[in-house]
Amino acid sequence: MTVVACPTCAKKVEWTEANKYRPFCSERCKQIDLGAWAEEKFVIPGGAPTDPLDDPLADH
């Protein structure tokens, strides 16, 4: 059986189908994580989006 750390509280959690909140230990930790994403506390790095209308070489 695989054991992982809850991303929110670091409690050890069994990675099984019986744990409906995996990888979280509980609904509470799952909601805390969702709230952090909603508040933009977590971001996925990437470049700024470009506007195709600003590119003189783009096919319009």
40 dihedral zone (left: phi>0; alpha: psi -120 to 50; beta): left
pLDDT beyond 70 at 53: yes
- Residue list, annotated binding site: 6, 9, 25, 29
Annotated binding residues for Zn(2+): 6, 9, 25, 29
Q: List CB contacts of 21: < 8 A, sequence separation 6 or more.
A: 27, 29, 30
Integer Cα distance of 9 and 6 in angstroms: 6
The token duo for 54 is: 């600003």
Q: What is the CATH number of domain 3-39?
A: 3.30.50.10
- The per-residue pLDDT for range 9-42, each reduced to its tens digit, is 999 999 999 999 999 999 999 999 999 999 888 8
